[in-house]
Structures are given as structure tokens and as C-alpha cells.
A and B are shown apart, each in its own frame.
Chain A
Amino acid sequence: MSARAVTNGVDGVMKYVSLLAIIAGTSSLFLLWLPMSLQAQLVLSLTILGLMLLSMQRPENKTLRLMTFVYASVIALRYAYWRTTDTLPDSSDLLNFIPGLLLYIAEMYCLVMLAINFFIVADPLKRAAPDAQAAADLPTVDVFVPSYNEAPDLLALTLAAAKNMNYPASKLTVYLLDDGGTDAKCGHRDPVVAHSAQRRREELQTLCAALGVRYHARAENTHAKAGNLNAGLKISSSDLVVVFDADHAPVREFLSETVGYFAADDRLFLVQTPHFFLNPDPLEKNLDTFRQMPSENEMFYSIVQRGLDKWNASFFCGSAAVLRRAALEETNGFQGQSITEDCESALALHCRGWHSVYVDKPLIAGLQPETLVSFIGQRVRWAQGMLQILILNRPFLQRGLTFAQRVCYAGTNLFWLFPLTRLTFMVAPLLYIFFSLQIFQANIVEFVCYTLTYLISSFAMQNYLFGKVRWPWVSELYEYVQAVMLLGAIFSVVRNPRKPTFNVTAKGQTLETSKLSPIALPYFAIFLLLATASAYAIWRYLSEPMPSELLLIVIGWNLINMGLAGAALGVVAERRERRRNQRLSVRRHALLHIGSVVHTVILTNVSSGGVAVEFIDNPAKAVDEGEVCSLELRRNGKALRKDIVCRVARGGPDRSFGFAFVQRDPETFSLIAEIMYSEQSFLQDRINLRQKPIGFFIGTLRFSLWSVRECMRALIYAAGLVRETQQTSHPDAELLLVPANNRARSGSHAGFDPGSVKEATYA
């Protein structure tokens, strides 16, 4: 029998199997949407829950994974059916019906998102590394580093790391696309603004010239980042375009891990990689979880993007990605209708049949917003941009997308409505506690049979799918913290979808003293409201002669909300952050010249300000604090050497020493980039260290402790009782930039061609 015949036979069988599955599905829906007794519901729920927990024991088995999804869906469908048919207040009773309906819609939204999530993460993709290509076959690559107001030293590291990538120099061009030094800004009517822009342009041109990077500033700041990138496209011509945000420094393997995919697929327009962050976000920093708990974005990059990739729907995240110029030209470059140009651009190209790839390896390291204000600012932009796409582009109805892509895009955009649901869930119990509104018609037996089993199933699924990358209750906390501030932004974009404008997220900020965030007030107000409600509800329960069983449920619900609000107080009580440079743990061999003695050392961590060193040869006396040494690195037969000064000389068995760079010029940043971003595994190790599930119960316990502890800390901050020791820290060495004409005169950088761009005449 021929292989074709076998294939036809298998196809035939599969048709029958599929038909059988459709019949089973229809029958199941019929059975699941029957108005069953509570007894039947309880037995079914417990049976299904048991099977679900059983099938969760083999997470690597795809069939069991899909069966787990189906079991969870059964419980969710039963809940949705009951919620729809049995629990809504009578429509004639508007006082109960309207809030009841809002709560119902919020829950249905969650169920829809659950279904979409199941679809997206049904089978997160694992990709093989691309085939290695001969140097001659490699496409040419332009690297765009768009900038608006970032500090030169931040840009220096990114540009140095970009220049340091493994790729033939003749095929790699790095561009700094500076929107902070546009002609419009340099010629601004406000002389202060104009002077600042001109100065910035000069500095950055000097930096670029020193690093071998092309500087480009366009005439006007139109269409924000998308406009800037499109300006970059106009002045460049390589086959592929790489985009790095100003703070996103790539590892050396970045291009070797990504470019190869383009050779394998002519219709590939995007290879996206995860965003790895060196610093904690405000929640991680203020709750002190950065070292142990997976970062917020790891759920998206480690699981969701892989899930989207399965359905050819992984999308451009604005940075750390490679794009095909030919594809971008089809859509006249990056899209700028929304303020999330990245997702919008990906959507436009997916609609034209282009493909995308997601590489699940951290290949860049960047910074997160340090303060709550900048964090919220960033999320406002994301939320508004995604909702703009939802409203203006209507992904679910876009032509050219597959059904799977429609679902994925709709899910990605719809996610940003979470503030509405989160706040609804926070407010709903208050209506019963204070006003006795019965917006959820159910008794305690129904609650146990439907809601409790559904909640158990939800938490179990959350733990099953995302336990490795998200601790229990942390999603809810992130949602709540953002929801309070995003609510207005959402209404604003819904009212006028074209109104939002691009705001650059501030990064690299420091905080000298611990204090409450300027936006802390609403969080305190909500917490006080919830605390009052809890106290009143408990009083009601204890004092009412016949307290309703519903009251008990509502008290529990409100206490959970209060726990969230309490932990959120910890987030808005910002701990001081004086670290200017973020460290990365590395293991890099180097030579340390102390006087005339050369020691072999291991660099254990590095930042753009200095390095930590361990001596391998274990000298009797190594180095004293304040002593200046010279650090030497060798790569490809070329030595890089810079002076460093000892800041910390710690004795003990580890004999760890901290050094700061004596001066920081562009070469210093090349050295730093060489140390920090020489190996992708340094980033991966840090992720692996944190991605460990802790389980629902321990997670809940830990979260409860946060709620109490952080709430107390916030109250101390609010009372102005912060006691912090004043420590002096050594400032970073200034960034030393020698203008190109001076350098040419001094001949200190012979052989360097900064390249010529039109705007250089402004320097």
C-alpha cells in the first residue's frame, strides 16, 4: 500500500473521528445546558474536578493537557449557564438589576477571556533553533534604537551592545533614531528647550561617532515612535530591521538566534524575542519580591507569546525583534494610528498573510519603570493603544486573518478591559454590605455547588497553566493596582479612540527616600472603604438576629478584596531606590592588573557603573578600597582594558570585591557590553532561578502576609514615621564624550568612521 493511500485512509478515519467528536460536543452542550438539580451539579462538578486534578499530574502530556482544558470548560460552562439562568435579579427591580447585570457582564467577560486563553495556550510552541547560515548568505541588518529623552549613558550601553552582536560588520548597521534632537526641537521657540535639544544632539552624535553608530534625527516629531522608526526605514536599506528600545541592550547571540528564521520562510515578517528586565517594577521593588518571584511579563513571554506563536499570531512588542523590510514596505512602514504601533503593525502584516515567529529566549536586557507613576504611565499607553486597535481596527473582523489569529488578537486587545471587571469585583460586595442590594441571587448551597467548584477549578487551572511564572493572587494584585488608574484612561479612549497620544515611559529613575507615591491617595481611600465594609459586615453578622448565609459569603469576598487592597498599599508605599545601575550576575574570566601584578579573576556581576570580582588565584592581599586597578578583557584576540577603582573590599571566604569604572567613555561601554551581554545564558539563568511554582496554599499564605505587612508599612509611611539611615554612595563616573573633531585632532580613535547622515550638519 502506498504512503498516499495510507494518508488517505488516515484522513478518512479522522473525518469520522471528527464527526464523532462533533456529535459528542453537541451532546455535551445539550447535557451541560440542562437545568439540572443541585445534587446532580455537585456530583458532576466534583467528578470533573477530580478528573481535572488527575490529568494535571502529567503537564507535559498534550492529550492530558487538552483534556484538562475540556474538564475546566465543563465546570465553567455549567457556571455560566447557572449564572445566566438562575442568578440575575428581576429586571423589574432596577435597583438590583442594573448592578447585578454589570456584575454578570464582568463575569461573562472573564469567562470569554478564559475561553480565549484556553485557545491561546492550548499548545504553546517550542521552536527549534534556526539553521546556521554561511556569512556570505546572511542578509544585511539595520538596527534601530529609537530614543526620545533617554540619558546618553543608557543609550551608550545599548548601542555598544548592539555593535557587539555576532554578525558580519559589513552587514550590520546600527542607527540611533533620536527624537529628542529633531530639527523641530532644536529650533523650538523656547530657548531652553532648543538649547537642551541641541546639546543632546551634539552629545549623542559624539557618542554615535565613537561607537560606530549612525545618528539620525528627523525634522519633526510626527507619529511618535512609529514615525521615528519609519524615518529610520527611509534612511536605511538593509533586508532586515532590528528594533531595540533605548534601554534594551542585546546579547551577542541576538542575531544568530533570530536571523536564520527569515531564510527558512520567505513570508516571515517578524521574529520577536522576550523582554528581560534587570530591575524590578514598582510592585516587585516595594513588596521586595524581585529576587524570588517571577516577573510580571514572564507569563506573557514564557507562555502566552508561545501560545500565540502556535497560531501564527505572536506579535511585535516594540523592541527586541527582527522585521523584514519588504514586509514593512507593504504597509508603508510601521503603523501609527494607535499608540501601540507594535501590535498594530503586526496586525496589519498578519492580515496580509505574513508570518511571525517567537523565540522563547531572553536575548536583550532592559529596564522597567522604577516608580509607580511611570509604571502606570506605561500601562495607560498600553491599555489605550490596545483598545484603540480593538475599536479602530476590529481585529476579530479583519480580513486576511485566520480564525485562530482573530481569536488571538481579540483576546490580546480585550484583555485590557480588565480594570472594569476588577473594580466591579471590588465594588460588588459593598452593595450588599451597605445597601443590602441582592445583585447575585443565590443561596449557600447553590454557591457551593456552582461558584465554589468554579473558583476551585479556576485557581487550579491558573496554577496549572501559569504556576511557574505567576504566584497566586499576584495577577489580581497587578490588575487592581493598574485598574484604579486605568479606569479613566479606558473611558477616555472609548469616548474618543483617536485622542490618546504617545507618552514616553520614564526609566532609570532613582528615589532618594522611601515615601508614598504621589498617586497613593485613591488606594488608601479604597482600602479604608473596604476595611469599613468588612468591619460593618462582621458587625452585621454578629448582631443581626438571623444573619443571611449570603452575608457570610460576601464577608469572605470582601476580605479577599481587602487583602488585595492592603497589599496594593505596599505597592504605593515606594521604597527608596538609589541604585542607578542595574546589576547582572555573570561568570566571566578577566585579568586584573594591580600595579604590576596580573591576577586572574572572575567577574561575578556587572552594571554600567562597575563590576564585582572574585580572585581565582586567592592572593594574600588583593586590593584596598580606593585603590585603582586595570581590568582587561580579551575577545577575538583584541584586548579591552579600562581602569577601575575598588569601592568594596570584603574579606571572608568569598573574597568579593566591588569596583567602579574610573571613567566612562564609549570604550568603557563597549567593555561593559562585552561583560554583560556576552552570553544569553546569564539572562536565562536568572529567569530559571525564579520560575519555580510555589503552590496555591503557600502562595495564598505568603500573599496574606504581604497584605498585613505591607499595609502596616504603608500606614507608617503615611504617618511620616519612616526611619532610614543616610548612606553616601559614590557617584558614577561621568560619561566622557570627546567631540568628533577633537578626537580627529587628537587621533585617539584612528580608523573609526562615524558614517555620514544628513542631520550631522546640525552638530
Chain B
Amino acid sequence: MLKLSSIIAIALFSIASGSQAAPSLLPSPAKPDLTNENAVNAIAPSDPAGLILFRESFFESRLQGERDVRYLSFFLSPEQAQQGGSLRLTYTNAVSVRPEDATLHVSFNGHAGQQFPIRSPQGPGVMDVKAETTVLKPGWNTVTLAAQQHHRVDCSIDATYELWTQIDVSDSGFLPVASRPQDPAAVLMSVGRNSDGRTRVRVLTAGDIKAGARYSLDAVQTLALLLGRKDLSVEFTAATKDEPGIDLIIGDVNSNWQSEEGQRLLSAAPTGVSIRSSGAGRVQMIIRGAGEQAINAALLQALHGPLKLVLDSRHLSAELGVLNADQPGTYRLSDLAYRAEPFAGRLFRTSFQTVMPADFYPGDYGAMTLKLNAATAPKLAPGAQLVVRVNEKAVTSHGLIDPNGTILKDKTLDIPLRAFRPGINTVDILAELPKEEDTVCDPAARDESKPRFLLLEETSISVPALARAGRVPDLAAFAGKAYPFSRTEKLDLLVSAPSSVQLGAAATLISRLAVSAGQPMAANLISDQEARSATPDRNRLVLATAQGQSLLKSARLTAPSLDDLTTASVLGHGNTVAEPSDPRALLDAFQARTSQDRDEPGITENLITGFQRAINVVGRWLQYREAESDPAPIRSSEVLATLSQVQSETGTSVVTTVSAATDAELSKAIDHLTDPAAWSKLNGGSATVLRSTGEVISTPAGAYSFYPLADRSFANLRRLAAAWLSDHIALYAFTVVILVSLIGLWLGYIVPRKGVRSVE
């Protein structure tokens, strides 16, 4: 029988998993505490039962800088679209935003929109925007939010980084006129977010929880894909809760995993899928069927029936601002939803997402080419430049100084492929546009009629042919594309102990992977006994606690996947503290504390220091390390959990492991890992979740191996060779030296014997 996940995958096959909104690249202010009672009280009460929340997460709903655009989406049933309603935006803006001229332009589905002031620095404020029925449509709708905001007192470039407006995605969305939707899809999409900004799915189970989990994995993934939310969190619980979220009840009254409440609800529900609203952002979804076949059939029927519109309309809104780099090609910014407009501020920014294939191999064998078409105003001050950043790292720049202004026509800037990683990448085009007059700052005298910069829509980006070879470990591919898991090959999902907490964590993780892949994973939850006898060629996703290690060892997992608890951190991230016993850290600390007592260094000392610094810089550069990326050790007590990936002993499959000390810590760590902000930054060979801050620190892989190649063409092999050898410079140089020396020796023998011979 065809597994449900496969059927759903076919339905979703062409749907990309990307979000429309580019995540922030700028320094993030602290996440507003939206659970704060004062803050909640400050907002106008909404009707939670009627509010249809945006699909995008908190992380994706932030407007930054002087001008920023975000695309948010929500679902409407035909009836809701026909009756219209209003958009409710609950937001908070930075204190530094000047209220007199900060505006938010709101438009629906590309229609002309309206402009509103941004004036809520003290706490969440509400903005209601009436939506005419003419601008709405059944299915997924897109709201474009374009913010323009300026600093109150500071006209410097740096000050523009302090400007932000955060949309509270738990209390923002569309308020339809029809407050009690009848359409099951509309009911489902009206699910609210929890106080922590997450969408909860509560699977009612008791007794044989593991069986319940096994039966509900497909349904949970389907829900994740239908909702499209990246903040989904799954828990297995015996009873429904009085808080926003989806209560999912699966099975039959006789199912051995059903709780008492579950049995009661099932007995009252018809066979098949039934969805109903319980008010206050709560949705109840019941899939009644005796056995796996019946459950799957019911779900399929719903997907082809009442929920069909969700799937059908999703791809129409999914591609805004997203560049799919799977194949070589050239894309204009206009193709990426960019609309040219003269910019009168100091820091221009536009962003788009680039989705790299899961088996993309980053390297210097090629570059994306940005052909810039732009114009600058006369008299820009020194420092005016255009910077391209990829995943928050500046990769190239171009000076914009010209006393008379300049017009850039197809100015080529190379964006190295090494800056990208598999999955979603964010590309920022920033233009820093200072003028001399900014030094005498008078925000009130701002003249918006005198633009400083214009980036034309004709600006294009060309994607070269990529080196394609999946690597292990590669957490970026794992997070961005759920690599190496796929809909066609089953993966074994192992938990060290089948507790509700661990199973909830596993379901959360698998549903997040489904969203990344844009299709459900063919996950096979197996027991310890099954793990021992399972085929070793299958990819595995393992969630383990210290207690469960015997199980995992019996499942022939390699030790490093479990023992890799002490890993490195990145300087500047969080408040990681060096081990007192770490000699280097101790020495650094000692020198820092005693530096004031030292005499002024002499010329020789300065020269030596300068030379050492230069050597260090070159050394780092040769290892492709950023200046600030020196890893510092993390205290073992600071480690909450680790995520790591290794190839199996047989070399034919991959084992991805999340390990923590206890169930509670594992659950907490999964929440941190699947937080959209952290998830999008996963890369390297392993990741560590810090106990104190919940921050996720990625660590580069020391070594990696290739997964079987899909593209064996000479061109791809050549690109791969270039990429791999660029990562193994010594080997490259050594091989070339040996080969050419052999040729030299051969020539040294053959040439004197060719032609006329010399007299010795």
C-alpha cells in the first residue's frame, strides 16, 4: 500500500518550502516579551476565534532599517474572501523610530495599498486595515508590508541599524467579516499561536503512546505542510488544553493509544476527518478510522476535498522574493518581487532568498554574478558603498563615490558560491549612502524629494552551474532541505525511550523537516528491538538521552554521534564562558587584565606584533576562516544538547542525532533548534544548544564524506574536484607538485635525447 506520506508528497511535490519573507540580517533587538501582561493589556482586544494568523513566524515578520519590505500570507475560504474583512497588525517599533514620518504601506495581493503611521514604541499597538473584497481571493493571500522609518536624532548610517518594527504574529492576521467559518480549511487556518509564538499540535494519546505516535506522524507532517508554519511544536498529551493550538485525535475509540478524552471525542465524531473550532485559536481535528488504512484514506479524502484549496493556492504565494538556484539561469530583481523606487535614506536595503539545492557543494569554483543597474546622487560622502551580504556576511562591495553621481550599467559584482549553503540563504543588497550634511543632523529637515540612490529592477543575478554532491555532515542541507531524507526512501526515527516527551520532540523535528523539504518524510518510528534488526542502509534520525545510549549503541551507531557533547562556540555569540583550565583563554584574559600596566611597546615590538597579526590574518584566510570566527570552548555544563550527523558504519546511510541528558532537556533543545531564527542558521557538522540562552552554535565539520552522486557528468565532477581540492589545499598543491615533477623528470630524460645531442 502506498504510504500516506508518499501520497501527500506527490500532492505537494512542486511546492517549495521557502518562506516569502526574508529573515532579518541586521542586529536584532531583544525579542519583545509579548507575554508581558502590560503589553497584552495595552492592545485592543481581538477576537481570537475569528483572527486568521499569518503563516510567517515571529522571526520572519520584522521590518528593519530605513526601508524594508515583508510579505506575509494568510488563508481565506471562498466565503471569507467574498465577504471581506480587515487586516489586523499588532506591532511594536523601536523607540528610536521617528514617529512623525515613519509609515507602513500595506497592500493586498499586489493591489494598490494604503499608508499608515508607525507609532507604537512603548508596547504593542494595533493597526486595522480594511480589505475590500476586490483585493482578496480565496486561498492564500499575500500582504505586502513596506515600512519607511527614520531615526529620531541620529543621521548616521549606524543609527539606521537601530530601526525596527516587529509584527506580533500571535496577534496579527486577517479578521474576516464572517467570524464563524464553516469551511474546514478556514477553521484549520484560524489556529492561533501560543504565548511563546509557537503553533502547538497536541496529539491526544495515552497507553501505547508509541503506537499513537507512529500513526500520527503522517498527520502531523500533513498539518505542518498545510499550515506552512515553521513554528510548529508537537506534544503528546492525554487531554486537550485551553490554549491556542490544534488538538489532534487520531484513530478509533478502540485504539490502544487513545486517552479517555480522545475516546470520548472520537465516539462523537463521524468517520473521516472533522475539523472544528473551539474558539480562542483552538482547533480540534479528528481523524477517525480503524487502523492505518482507514486513517490514511480519511486524510487523503480531506486533502482532495475540503483542504484542497490550501494546497492548490499555496504555490501561488510561495515564490515571492525567492530565487531557486537549482539550475543555472539569470533572474532580474523584478522577478524576485523587487520594485524600484528612489531612495532618500542613508541605508538602502533589499533582500531576497536564494534556495540552494540540498546537494549543493559550496566552494570557489564559481560565483553568482550580480549585474548592478543603479544610480547614485551627487555629493555622496566618503564611505558610500554598495555591499552584498550573504547569510549576514559581507562578501563583496563596490564604492559609490562620484562627485557628480554615477550611473551603474550592468556593473558586475561576483558573489562567491562559498558564501552560500544548501537550503535557504539570504542575500542582502545594502547601499550605505552618507552625505556630508548628515553630520549636522536635523531629522525634521529631511527632504524625501531628493533621493540618494535608485536600484533598478533590471539588476539581475546569474546563477552558475553548481557542484552537486551531498555531504555528510551538513546541517545546512539538513535544515534547509531535510537532506538526506526524502519522500522516496524511508528513514528510521529512533528515540532512546518512547516517552511522550521524546516522541513529541521527534514529531516536532520531523514536521519541521517536512516543511523544509516541502513534503512529508517517510518516517518510520521504530523500537529498540526493531532498531537492532533494521537494515543498516537506511538513514536514521535519532533523539537520544543519556539513559538511552545502550539502545543506540545496539543500533550500531558510531560513538562520536553520542559523545560529541563538548564542541566549539563562536566568539561573540551569547555569553559563553571559557573553561578556567583553557590555557589560551586564560592567557588572553591575563594579558587583557594586565595590559594597562605595561610600558608603551617599542617600534620593534610593534613590528613583531604587526607581523604576527599579518601572519594570523593570512593564516585564517588560508583556512577560509572569518576574522571573528575563532571558536572558544564551551563549558560542558553549558551544553544543553547537540545535533550531529555522521555516516553510518556501512557508509551507505546517514545518522543524524540530537542528544541531551534528559527528556526535558531534549524537548527544550528541540524547541530551540526548531525556532525559525535558529533553524535557518544551522550549518556545519554539528550544533550545540546552550543551556543558559538557548542559543544554537554551529561548528564546522572537521571532515566530511560524500553521499552518492546524482550528477556524474564530467562538468559536475570537475566542479566538485575544484571545490573539494580548494578545501584540501595541501593535497592539491602536493598532487600538482608530484605530477608536474614527474613530467619534469621525464622531460629531463627525454629532451637531451631528442634532436641534436649536445657534447657533454
Contacts and interface: CB of A to CB of B under 8 A. Distances in A.
Question: Do the two shown chains form a genuine complex with each other?
Answer: yes
Interface string A50-87: 01000000000011111111110110000000000000
B752 A28 contact: no
Contacts of B366: 35
B308 interface: no
B381 interface: yes
B579 to A, nearest CB: 31
B418 A37 contact: yes
Contacts of A17: 746, 749
A80 to B, nearest CB: 15
Contacts of A40: 364, 725-726, 729, 732-733
A217 B412 CA distance: 69
A35 B623 CA distance: 17
Nearest to B746: A21
A69 B729 contact: no
Contacts of B747: 21, 66-67, 69-70, 122
The CB with the most chain A CB atoms within 10 A, among B624, B719, B756, is that of B756
Contact of B733 (A43, A62, A93, A310): A43
B490 to A, nearest CB: 38
Interface stretch (A542-550, A661-669, A696-704): A542-550
Interface string A27-51: 1101110111111101110011001
B242 to A, nearest CB: 57
A548 B733 CA distance: 32
A50 to B, nearest CB: 10
B94 to A, nearest CB: 30
A38 B412 CA distance: 19
Contacts of B383: 545-546
B725 A31 contact: yes
A34 B622 contact: no
B502 to A, nearest CB: 43
Contact of B737 (A51, A92, A122): A51
Q: Which secondary structure characterizes the binding site on chain A? A: helix
B559 interface: no
B182 interface: no
A44 B732 contact: yes
Contacts of A404: 754-755
B566 interface: no
Contacts of B746: 17-18, 20-21, 24
Contacts of A38: 364
B739 A31 contact: yes
A17 B753 CA distance: 15
A127 B381 CA distance: 71
A67 B758 contact: no
A151 B609 CA distance: 72
Given A67-B744, A122-B751, A34 B412 contact: no
A69 B745 CA distance: 11
Contact of B758 (A42, A69, A123, A311): A123
Contacts of A35: 364-366, 719, 722
Contact of B730 (A21, A34, A43, A546): A43
A27 B739 contact: yes
B743 A24 contact: yes
A67 B737 contact: no
Contacts of B195: none
B410 A545 contact: no
B759 interface: yes
A124 B409 CA distance: 53
A356 to B, nearest CB: 10
B710 to A, nearest CB: 21
A499 B623 CA distance: 61
A685 interface: no
Contacts of A674: none
Interface string A626-637: 000000000000
A17 B742 CA distance: 10
A296 B135 CA distance: 83
A548 B366 CA distance: 24
Nearest to A34: B722
A18 B750 contact: yes
B382 interface: yes
Given A37-B418, A66-B751, A126-B759, A43 B622 contact: yes
Given A37-B726, A92-B410, A546 B385 contact: yes
Contacts of B750: 18
Interface in A397-430: 404
Interface string A435-450: 0000001000000000
Contacts of A125: 756, 758
Contacts of A312: 755-756
Contacts of A63: 744-745, 748-749
A298 B175 CA distance: 93
A442 B743 CA distance: 31
A128 interface: yes
A562 B722 CA distance: 40
The CB with the most chain A CB atoms within 10 A, among B385, B737, B743, is that of B743
Given A545-B383, A548-B399, A74 B740 contact: yes
A625 interface: no
Interface string A269-311: 0000000000000000000000000000000000000000111
A488 interface: no
B718 interface: yes
Contacts of A695: none
Contact of A39 (B381, B621, B759): B621
Contacts of A544: 401
A39 B622 contact: yes
A25 interface: yes
The CB with the most chain B CB atoms within 10 A, among A20, A32, A44, is that of A44
B363 interface: yes
B153 interface: no
Contact of A90 (B412, B736, B752): B412
Contacts of A92: 410
Nearest to B720: A34
B28 interface: no
B705 interface: no
Contacts of A47: 733, 737
A545 B382 contact: yes
Nearest to A25: B743
A135 to B, nearest CB: 26
A91 to B, nearest CB: 11
B721 interface: yes
A20 B758 contact: no
Contacts of A70: 740-741, 743-744, 747
Contacts of B384: 546
A31 B732 contact: yes
A44 B718 CA distance: 18
Nearest to A89: B412
The CB with the most chain A CB atoms within 10 A, among B363, B624, B754, B755, is that of B755
A127 B758 CA distance: 6
A213 B215 CA distance: 118
Interface in A434-471: 441
Nearest to A85: B366
Interface string B376-396: 000001111100000000000
Contacts of B748: 62-67
A299 B726 CA distance: 41
A310 B742 CA distance: 23
B735 interface: yes
A31 B718 CA distance: 9
Contact of A34 (B623, B725, B754, B759): B725
A346 to B, nearest CB: 16
**Considering the complex of A and B, which 7 residue pairs feature the smallest CB-CB distances, nearest first?**
A63-B748, A545-B382, A67-B744, A37-B364, A37-B726, A21-B746, A70-B744
8 contacts: A28-B739, A30-B718, A37-B364, A39-B729, A44-B732, A126-B758, A311-B755, A546-B384
Interface of A: 17-18, 20-21, 24-25, 27-28, 30-32, 34-40, 42-44, 47-48, 51, 62-71, 73-74, 90, 92-93, 122-128, 309-312, 404, 441, 544-546, 548
